[in-house]
Amino acid sequence: MLSTPAVSTAEDEPDDDTEKKPGAQLSVPELLFGRRVKPTALALLAVVALAVGAVGGVVGWAVGTTGDELRGELNLAEAEAAKERPADSIAGIAQRVAPAVVSIEVTSGQNGGVGSGVVIDGEGYVLTNHHVISQAVDSEGTEISTVFTDGTRVQAQVVGSDPHTDLAVLKVNVDDPVVIEVGRSSELAPGDGVVAVGSPFGLENTVTEGIVSAVDRPVTALGENGQPNVTYDAIQTDAAINPGNSGGALVDARGALVGINSMIRTGGEGEGGSIGLGFAIPVDQAMRIAEALIRDGEVTHADMGVNAASVSANTSEGAQVQNVRGQGPADRAGIREGDVITRIGERQVRNAAELTVAVREHDVDETVPVRLVRDGRALTVDVTLGSD
């Protein structure tokens, strides 16, 4: 007899707390939670799990990147665009002056030297120091090259040279060179700002800045190769001037040429660097010499016909006459050995160097009053100056 299948009703289903019979299969929620879980709860749980995983990933990435101190991104603090340099700034002055200043290279076989020069005329005339190019004057086979700021290299010829004032003029064949503006050294005063441009130690286009520390400073340097001592009324400056600056430009706050850098004073023996005492030939004097050299190829200076020495070292009492050249200007005026000269014209004479520059301020054949002391007695004689 067939049996009737059992039909279960809702009342017959076991509830969630009913223990499963042995051998019955369990669902995944039942395995994980020990009971049935509603689908919405499962979905919520999945969202939470994903969120936790995402947070963990972010934290892990942050820890990994911050833990390596040698890696990262470069964030630059960029400067603002450079401002235009004012024309009266040191940079502005240098930009205008440097193209008119050349480096001078003198070579003779394996020997040579470096100095500086200044273009003073559109025809290619270059003013420099005599001692920069003296090797070319004294010996044949010596070449002089001028190097401009744009790298142009041009051979130069000596127009004329004056060892007494340490000045010389060269000529270069260039088209439309930049010419320096010429100022007045007579208008300078201690404390005025100045800029030196040249090639110290062969380093072209070097610019240094300082002030005029003194004017009308008589200085003397030994002549080159047995030539007469160099004596001139210098502009003293603390702008750094070193070997190789010789012949370069000393310009004022407008960029106008006021001096030709020529000499330094160092603290030790031999050639050394700047210690804040540099000397330049005043442009007023330099231009007179340059004009004479360009016109005549040579220059003469007023002379008294005496040799003198400072009365006493480190004093400023005058210049004592050591000897008098026979039939010279001083001899004809009655000046004797032993006389102490204290004034030439309107200028006080405090030492032997100042005697030389005071005489050279006048013209050949000019008659000037000379005040002197003889045997403790002051007197004045008129001297008609001759030529050196």
Between CA 200 and CA 273 the distance in angstroms is 10
Q: What is the mean pLDDT of residues 203-214?
A: 94
pLDDT at 31: 47
The tokens 């702008």 sit on which residue?
Answer: 239
CATH homologous superfamily, domain 302-387: PDZ domain (2.30.42.10)
User: Which residues touch 104 (CB under 8 Å, ≥6 apart)?
Assistant: 114, 115, 116, 117, 126, 128, 132, 133, 144, 145, 146, 147, 156, 170, 199, 247
pLDDT at 44: 64
pLDDT tens string 57-110: 655 555 555 555 677 888 888 877 666 778 889 999 999 999 999 999 999 877
Report residue 29 as tokens: 């929620």
CATH class of 90-296: mainly beta
pLDDT at 15: 47
The number of helix segments (H) and strand segments (E) in the chain equals 7, 20
Residue bearing the bigger pLDDT, 317 or 326: 326
Between CA 278 and CA 240 the distance in angstroms is 7
Radius of gyration of the chain (CA): 45
pLDDT at 4: 40
Report how far apart, in Å, the C-alpha atoms of 67 and of each of 62, 127, 289 are: 8, 67, 75
pLDDT at 2: 36
pLDDT band at 5 (very low <50, low <70, confident <90, very high): very low
Percent of the chain past pLDDT 90, that is, above it, reads: 62
Which pTM does this prediction carry? 0.76
Report residue 130 as tokens: 């005599």
Task: Tell me which residue of 83, 255, 84 sits closest to 178, measured CA to CA.
Answer: 255
Mean pLDDT of the chain: 84
- In this structure, what DSSP letter does residue 19 have? P
Report residue 315 as tokens: 């004093």
Q: What is the mean pLDDT of residues 251-266?
A: 92
Active site residues: 131, 166, 246
∠ CA 257-260-262, nearest 5°, is 160
Domain locations along the chain: 90-296, 302-387
Specify the range with the lowest mean pLDDT, choosing from 201-205, 206-210, 309-313. Answer: 309-313
Between CA 215 and CA 331 the distance in angstroms is 32
Q: Are 359 and 322 in contact (CB under 8 A)?
A: no
Residue bearing the bigger pLDDT, 341 or 312: 341
pLDDT at 12: 45
The tokens 């286009």 sit on which residue?
Answer: 205
